[in-house]
Amino acid sequence: MIDFLNEIRRPIRISLSRKFLYSTLIFIAGVILGVVSKLLDTTESNYLPYFLEIFDLRNFFSRMGVWIFLAVVISVYSKTPIRSAINVFLFFVGMVGSYYLYTVLVASFFPKSYMMIWIIMTCVSPFLAFVCWYAKGKGIIAISISSIIFMFISRQAFVFGFWYFDITNILEFLLWIATIFLLYQSPKQIIKVLPIGLLLFFLTAQTNLFWGML
């Protein structure tokens, strides 16, 4: 099994000190983004700087797109699938933990149902990250994983129905473009990934893949 996975993408060894440093920085980044997201969520729009209001960052950080994208970035740029699982898990622990600690301790609010959803997602994230790491590999499995990632990002960037097709959020559209560059390995590879991902998007457009927001 290990040989089979190594044929898709081979892990790179790094020192223990670098592992600790990278994981710590990722955890801190998650904590900071969780606090920033909650601050935006609890601050009245007229008190926010004009550019934050224009880009609607409050709504942007309350949706799934940015968190999926960041998790994929962390996953594919980790050196091994195990490191990918650890790093993404630490990122979500930092983000979800700081967000809901702020919610409970500062905002004096206890959204149990939403919190449980995000706790479950945090627990599942290492397994998904392990799989996503192989998106930067070779062969049909890597292309399939990349296509599924692209489908999920497309689901966040666009809305599609029988008579309409529209961009959900301009920042999520930019993430959609960034995802193409993130998944790109060669013209031949990306030409396969994009049509398959878009086909999956259209096939699943009317299904609810997420329960809600932060």
User: Does residue 128 sit within a domain?
Assistant: yes
User: Does residue 210 sit within a domain?
Assistant: no
CA end-to-end distance (rounded Å), the chain: 37
Those residues with Cβ within 8 angstroms of residue 27's Cβ, 6 or more apart along the chain or in another chain? 90, 91, 93, 94
Alpha helices, H only, 106-208: 112-132, 139-157, 170-183, 187-204
Distinct helix (H) and strand (E) counts, the chain: 10, 2
Those residues with Cβ within 8 angstroms of residue 53's Cβ, 6 or more apart along the chain or in another chain? 45, 46
Domain that holds residue 93: 2-204
Question: Based on the structure, what is the number of domains in the chain?
Answer: 1
Tokens of 69: 């994208």
Backbone phi and psi for residue 167, each to the nearest 5 degrees, phi listed first? -85, 130
User: Does residue 97 sit within a domain?
Assistant: yes
Query: pTM of the prediction?
Result: 0.90
pLDDT surpassing 70 at residue 100: yes
Of the listed ranges 51-60, 104-113, 138-147, the one predicted with least confidence: 51-60
How high does pLDDT run on average in the chain?
88
User: Does residue 209 sit within a domain?
Assistant: no
User: Does residue 211 sit within a domain?
Assistant: no
Residue (of 114, 109, 122) closest to 30 by Cα position: 122
pLDDT tens track for 30-65: 999 999 998 887 766 656 666 566 667 777 888 888
Q: Residue 207 has what pLDDT?
A: 75
User: Does residue 190 sit within a domain?
Assistant: yes
Distance CA 75, CA 81 (A): 8
User: Does residue 167 sit within a domain?
Assistant: yes
User: Does residue 26 sit within a domain?
Assistant: yes
